[in-house]
């Protein structure tokens, strides 16, 4: 009798420990699930920012090739032709990140006076000409690179005449463009007129019918540069507005050669960190993204782990007090057993409700690899109902590769509770009931129930993420193809011009 009484007295403590353990397990996995959701939203936001920057820079670079084609199609481009073309492509609406587009002309020192007089007397767009035009700053160099045209002209009027070769950074950027015979992105520089931080994309333009095969030929036959200027704050704020980013829990910084280019929403919450590098116009931008572990979660999602833990604790304490009060009376042993059974069922139901509410598939298998838990999300993901897979070996149902079906690995886990996959996020190919093969992200944890090791897997369908990665790769390839087409079109225009000139010469000779 005393032995039975002692057992009954220990029982409430055992039940309390079970409830507390169940609460801890529920807290852990729900918090883990919320963290995965937060990380997914964080990565998606970072990916969108990167994609928009790539898209803008490549699109705006292609626009400069249009200006280069304009010069290739005629012996010279007058100010009104430059302005007309800029109006035609609707620069303000189609290229909102660009602050201005300009053409900088190569001028030899002995030609400066003649060049200045021509600009002052240019009335193609301004009936009064440009009487105040002057080249600045003065230099002793033999060659000048002078801002000749700017669009919109009103905003760029003060910058006309600026000699870009007076600035070592601008000079280095332009020289690299000539060496590479392609577009080059500049570091952060300051506008000559008001010291606003900007970066430029420069594209060299050469004299028609002149060779450009070697670096020396390109340097000798350089006509000037088409240049797109971007006010840094305006460029990135426009991207932020397009992505509809308005979250104080998200921040990012952009560095160019260890120099801070831009910072958005400085925050001390840096639990989530992601670093990416962008290769743009011969430069490398390093982007660091920051956020906290609850990024993108609503109030209910943020409190879900604590709600579950609180529910288990309250239930456990209630059961403990109830069973403890009954355990002091031997004659009420039957009632205690019934109460325990009922409460355990209720706690199991609560656990099942939480499991079934999870968006990710939750699967548990015993020490022999047999399925003992298969939640609603798993049914929707794999197409099997729980009663179809219960007590069947998991690896024979969903795995594709033979290496994932090795029985010895499962048996070893059942004996030791050890496995190489525990606590890791791994990507695996699996199959649905229909035979469709798809990709999942799997995290495996272990639990010792009734002195037997069980494996608990959290499964996420990453088909959409893989699709997005593939689409981004295709988009990058499409942009590269467009660049090649633009360059090919430019070369064809140059070849056509050569053929026309050749035809004219033959006709004249005849």
**What's the helix, strand, coil split of the chain in %, to 5?**
55, 25, 25
The answer to which of 52-66, 148-162, 222-236, 303-317 has the lowest mean pLDDT is 303-317
Spatial CA neighbour of 450 closest among 118, 18, 30, 139:
18
For 132, phi then psi, to 5°, come to: -90, 5
pLDDT at 485 over 80: no
CA-to-CA dists, residue 324 to 16, 315, 335, angstroms: 10, 14, 12
3-class DSSP assignment, residue 422: strand
Please give the Cα distance from 490 to 226 (Å, whole number). Answer: 14
* Confidence class for position 59, pLDDT limits 50, 70, 90: very high
The answer to which of 20-29, 324-333, 479-488 has the lowest mean pLDDT is 324-333
For 237, phi then psi, to 5°, come to: -65, -35
Instruction: Specify which of 196-200, 349-353, 440-444 reaches the highest per-range mean pLDDT.
Output: 196-200
pTM: 0.59
Neighbouring residues of 402: CB distance < 8 A, sequence distance ≥ 6: none
3-class DSSP assignment, residue 79: helix
Percent of the chain beyond pLDDT 90? 41
Q: Quick one: how far is CA 262 from the chain centroid? A: 16
Residue-range domain boundaries for the chain: 74-236, 358-461, 466-510
**Fold match flag (74-236 vs 358-461):** yes
* Confidence class for position 5, pLDDT limits 50, 70, 90: low
- Asked whether the beta carbons of 12 and 320 are under 8 A apart, the reply is yes
- Asked whether the beta carbons of 330 and 1 are under 8 A apart, the reply is yes
For 478, phi then psi, to 5°, come to: -65, -40
Task: State the DSSP code for 111.
Answer: G
The answer to which of 289-293, 327-331, 412-416 has the lowest mean pLDDT is 327-331
Percent of the chain beyond pLDDT 70? 90
Average pLDDT over residues 10-34: 84
Please give the Cα distance from 508 to 497 (Å, whole number). Answer: 16
The whole-chain average pLDDT of the chain stands at 85
pLDDT at 331 over 60: no
Partners of 352 in the β-ladder: none
* Confidence class for position 252, pLDDT limits 50, 70, 90: very high
Spatial CA neighbour of 57 closest among 186, 172, 201, 173:
201
Q: What is the CA radius of gyration of the chain?
A: 35
Instruction: Specify which of 80-89, 259-268, 357-366 reaches the highest per-range mean pLDDT.
Output: 80-89
* Confidence class for position 344, pLDDT limits 50, 70, 90: very low
Tens-place pLDDT, residues 116-161: 999 999 999 999 999 999 999 988 889 999 999 999 998 889 999 9
For 506, phi then psi, to 5°, come to: -65, -40
Q: Can you give 50-62 as a three-state secondary structure string? A: HHHHHHHHHHHHH
Please give the Cα distance from 91 to 100 (Å, whole number). Answer: 9
pLDDT at residue number 56: 94
Pairing mode, strands 283-291 and 452-461: unpaired
- Say if residue 214 is exposed, middle or buried (CB neighbours under 10 Å; 0-12, 13-18, 19+): exposed
CA-to-CA dists, residue 227 to 150, 165, 224, 253, 401, angstroms: 9, 14, 10, 25, 54
Spatial CA neighbour of 353 closest among 414, 308, 403:
308
Please give the Cα distance from 459 to 361 (Å, whole number). Answer: 5
Give the H/E segment covering residue 289: strand 283-291
- Say if residue 21 is exposed, middle or buried (CB neighbours under 10 Å; 0-12, 13-18, 19+): middle
* Confidence class for position 69, pLDDT limits 50, 70, 90: very high
Instruction: Specify which of 318-327, 372-381, 421-430, 491-500 reaches the highest per-range mean pLDDT.
Output: 372-381
Q: Read off the tokens for 304.
A: 């879900």
CATH superfamily, with its number, for domain 74-236: CHASE domain (3.30.450.350)
Give the length of the chain.
510
The domain made up of 358-461 is a member of CATH 3.30.450.20 = yes
């Amino acid at each position: 009798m005393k032995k039975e009484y002692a057992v009954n007295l220990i029982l409430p403590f055992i039940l309390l420990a079970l409830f507390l353990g169940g609460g801890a397990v529920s807290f852990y996995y729900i918090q883990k699930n919320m963290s995965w959701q937060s990380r997914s939203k964080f990565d998606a936001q970072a990916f969108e920012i990167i994609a928009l920057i790539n898209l803008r820079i490549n699109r705006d670079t292609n626009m400069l090739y249009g200006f280069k084609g304009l010069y290739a199609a005629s012996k010279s481009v007058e100010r009104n032709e430059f302005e007309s073309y800029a109006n035609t492509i609707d620069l303000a609406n189609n290229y909102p990140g660009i602050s201005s587009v300009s053409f900088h002309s190569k001028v030899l020192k002995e030609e400066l006076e003649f060049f200045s007089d021509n600009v002052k007397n240019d009335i193609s767009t301004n009936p009064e000409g440009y009487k105040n035009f002057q080249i600045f700053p003065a230099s002793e160099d033999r060659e000048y690179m002078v801002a000749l045209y700017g669009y919109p002209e009103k905003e760029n009027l003060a910058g006309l005449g600026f000699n870009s070769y007076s600035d070592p950074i601008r000079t280095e950027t332009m020289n690299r463009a000539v060496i590479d015979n392609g577009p080059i992105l500049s570091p952060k520089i300051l506008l000559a007129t008001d010291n606003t931080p900007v970066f430029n994309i420069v594209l060299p333009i050469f004299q028609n019918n002149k060779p450009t095969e070697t670096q020396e030929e390109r340097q000798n036959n350089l006509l000037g540069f088409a240049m797109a200027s971007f006010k840094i704050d305006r460029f990135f704020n426009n991207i932020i507005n397009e992505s509809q980013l308005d979250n104080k829990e998200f921040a990012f910084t952009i560095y160019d050669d260890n120099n801070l280019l831009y910072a958005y929403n400085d925050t001390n919450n840096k639990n989530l960190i992601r670093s990416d590098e962008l290769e743009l116009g011969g430069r490398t931008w390093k982007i660091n993204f920051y956020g906290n572990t609850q990024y993108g979660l609503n109030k209910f999602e943020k409190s879900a782990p604590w709600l579950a833990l609180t529910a288990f604790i309250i239930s456990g304490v209630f059961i403990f007090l109830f069973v403890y009060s009954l355990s002091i009376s031997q004659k009420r042993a039957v009632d205690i057993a019934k109460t325990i059974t009922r409460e355990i069922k209720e706690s199991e139901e609560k656990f099942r409700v939480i499991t079934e509410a999870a968006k990710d598939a939750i699967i548990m298998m015993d020490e022999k690899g047999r399925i003992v838990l298969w939640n609603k999300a798993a049914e929707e993901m794999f197409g099997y109902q729980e009663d179809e897979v219960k007590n069947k070996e998991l690896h024979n149902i969903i795995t594709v590769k033979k290496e994932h079906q090795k029985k010895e690995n499962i048996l070893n886990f059942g004996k030791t509770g050890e496995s190489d996959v525990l606590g890791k996020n791994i990507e695996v190919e699996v199959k649905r009931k229909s035979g469709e093969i798809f990709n999942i992200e799997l995290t495996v944890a272990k639990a010792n129930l009734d002195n037997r090791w069980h494996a608990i897997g959290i499964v996420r369908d990453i088909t959409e993420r893989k699709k997005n990665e593939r689409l981004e790769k295709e988009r990058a390839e499409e942009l590269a193809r467009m660049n090649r087409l633009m360059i090919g079109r430019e070369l064809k225009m140059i070849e056509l011009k050569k053929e026309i000139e050749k035809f004219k010469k033959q006709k004249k000779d005849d």
